[in-house]
Amino acid sequence: MKKKFSMLTVAALLLTSLVGCAGGDEPKSSSGAASGSNTGSSAAASGGGASGQKVTLKLLQFKVEITDKVKAMAADYMAQNPNVIIEGGATSDYDTLVRTRFASGDAPDIFMSKAFTDIKDWSDKIADLSNEPWMSKVAPAAVEGMTVDGKKLGFPVAFEGYGFIYNKDLFAKAGIDKVPTTLTELKQVNEKLKAAGILSYSEGYKEWWVLGQHLFNLPYAYEKDPVGMIQKINKGEAKVNNVANMNGFFDVLDMTVKYGKGAESVGISYDNQVSEFSTGKTAMMQQGVWTIDSIVKINPNLKIGMFAIPLNDNAADTKLPVGVPGYYVLNKNSKNLAEAKKFLTWLHDNGQKYLVDSFKLIPAFTDLKTSPDLGPLAQDLSKYVEKNQTIPWAHTLWPSGSNQEFAKPLQAYVGGQLNKEQTLTEVQKIWTDRVKK
């Protein structure tokens, strides 16, 4: 997440992809400590050790697109709690960093974990937060992904969703008066854009999570029983090429290449992808609600929307992936566990200011309200939620670490080094190897 400044010192809280992230990709490595300005409240005296000694909370997270805002939030916390220092870093490989920090004895106090598989893998090192005062306010849809053996282990950052974000003016210029809801209609949209001399895409396939996580999530999420299918693949009772909409996935991937930058797509970064869309050079990009702040900074007058990506010709099947991108979790062996719990309570108590108004996220707490200022992407996401037209983030059920590995054969496919059958063979091998680990 992003944004966090101060008059005294400003540290760089870590973050990497996500995505999301959800989403966003990797900042350069950095580290430091953030101190707050004199904007604190009467809560300042509550932080730190009993005798006034400094307490350092080491925080790691991966929502890169709001890094500066997270820095600003931490600076405010430190201003209100002058005996607390929040420090962190940034890395190009978040998962590796967390594992390395734990292995080296420099484990974080607070770190971020994804739902289901990831949080389960870390469950023996994560504190039980079931009885924290804010837990009763967590939205029901956010509970399952962070529950292990009946224990609630996480603080949900937000609800997020992704699809094709589109430029309404460019669609209108090409004579497109409705968003596509089927694979055939998506092909027609691309042809209309091409006829109007408009580039459809500039996809950021340099980033593993854009291709190997978000886009590749779709065929699994569109399964009638995503959990059941993934369990079958884990047990060797099914293969990835048995996934019903896998051909549709490749159809969409082919379109993003054919009507976009071709093989050059594997060299396009997240920042370049967002920049080219925001400046009107492309009509669509596969991204999510987390990009709104970046888009607005580049072009505040851009008229945009978001629609679900179809993988077949049954419009009723076309739904938007919605889930919790990550949870803050606490190291149960941290000597500063009590202070880390105080921080999460403070973050919830001030969630409207930071999670919603500053970070511009869709809250995963029932006592926080989605702001109308979150913009058109959040509004479009809400429409899919209201109509129950959503699918899960099935990639959270994949074998741990496989999402990054899946990107490699998929990038080779985009670059023309592998055909579809060879790509799926490589994906299957990665999956099988990861299950054995």
What are the pLDDT digits (tens) for 164-173? 999 999 999 9
What does the pLDDT average to over 307-327?
95
The amino acid at 190: N
Query: Same domain for 300 and 329?
Result: no
Query: Same domain for 225 and 330?
Result: no
Whether the link from the prior residue into 19 is cis, omega within 30° of 0, is yes
**Looking at the domain assignment, is residue 356 inside a domain?**
yes
Cα distances from 137 to residues 58, 131, 356, in angstroms, run 26, 12, 15
**Of 323, 347, 379, which closes a domain?**
323
The whole-number pLDDT of residue 137 equals 95
**Of 289, 323, 357, which closes a domain?**
323
Query: Same domain for 175 and 90?
Result: no
Query: Same domain for 1 and 125?
Result: yes
60 is in which domain, residue-wise? 1-159+324-367
Query: Same domain for 150 and 196?
Result: no
Query: Same domain for 187 and 154?
Result: no
**Looking at the domain assignment, is residue 418 inside a domain?**
no
With the CA atoms of 70, 28, 210 and 391 taken in that order, what torsion angle do they form, in degrees rounded to the nearest 10? -30
Q: What SS3 class is residue 80? A: helix
Express each pLDDT in 67-118 by its tens digit: 788 889 999 999 999 999 998 755 557 888 899 999 999 999 999 998 888 9
Query: Same domain for 217 and 309?
Result: yes
Read off the pTM.
Answer: 0.72
The whole-number pLDDT of residue 400 equals 86
The whole-number pLDDT of residue 382 equals 84
Counting beta carbons within 10 angstroms of the beta carbon of residue 349, is it exposed (0 to 12), middle (13 to 18) or buried (19 or more)?
middle
The whole-number pLDDT of residue 369 equals 87
Query: Same domain for 174 and 316?
Result: yes
With the CA atoms of 172, 176, 182 and 185 taken in that order, what torsion angle do they form, in degrees rounded to the nearest 10? -140
Express each pLDDT in 278-300 by its tens digit: 999 999 999 999 899 899 999 99
**Looking at the domain assignment, is residue 175 inside a domain?**
yes
* DSSP, res 215: I
CATH number of the domain encompassing residue 348:
3.40.190.10
What is the number of other CB atoms lying within 10 angstroms of the CB of residue 143?
15
**Looking at the domain assignment, is residue 32 inside a domain?**
yes
Distance of CA 85 to the CA centre of its chain: 26
Residue 30: pLDDT over 70:
no
Contact call for residues 14 and 89 (beta carbons, < 8 A): yes
Query: Same domain for 134 and 239?
Result: no
Query: Same domain for 169 and 204?
Result: yes
The amino acid at 57: L
**Of 323, 342, 357, which closes a domain?**
323
Query: Same domain for 318 and 331?
Result: no
**Looking at the domain assignment, is residue 378 inside a domain?**
no
Number of domains, the chain:
2
Mean pLDDT across the chain, nearest whole number?
87
Lowest-confidence range among 17-21, 157-161, 286-290? 17-21
Q: What SS3 class is residue 89? A: strand
**Looking at the domain assignment, is residue 422 inside a domain?**
no
The larger pLDDT score, comparing residue 230 to residue 142, is at 230
What is the number of other CB atoms lying within 10 angstroms of the CB of residue 183?
23
Pairing of strands 390-391, 320-323: parallel
Residue partners of 387: CB distance under 8 A and separation at least 6? none
**Looking at the domain assignment, is residue 107 inside a domain?**
yes
Contact call for residues 30 and 88 (beta carbons, < 8 A): no
Query: Same domain for 116 and 227?
Result: no
At residue 436 the predicted structure's pLDDT band, cuts being 50, 70 and 90, is confident
Express each pLDDT in 364-389 by its tens digit: 998 998 888 788 999 899 888 878 89
**Looking at the domain assignment, is residue 90 inside a domain?**
yes
- H helices of 323-398, in order, are 337-349, 351, 376-386
What is the number of other CB atoms lying within 10 angstroms of the CB of residue 68?
18
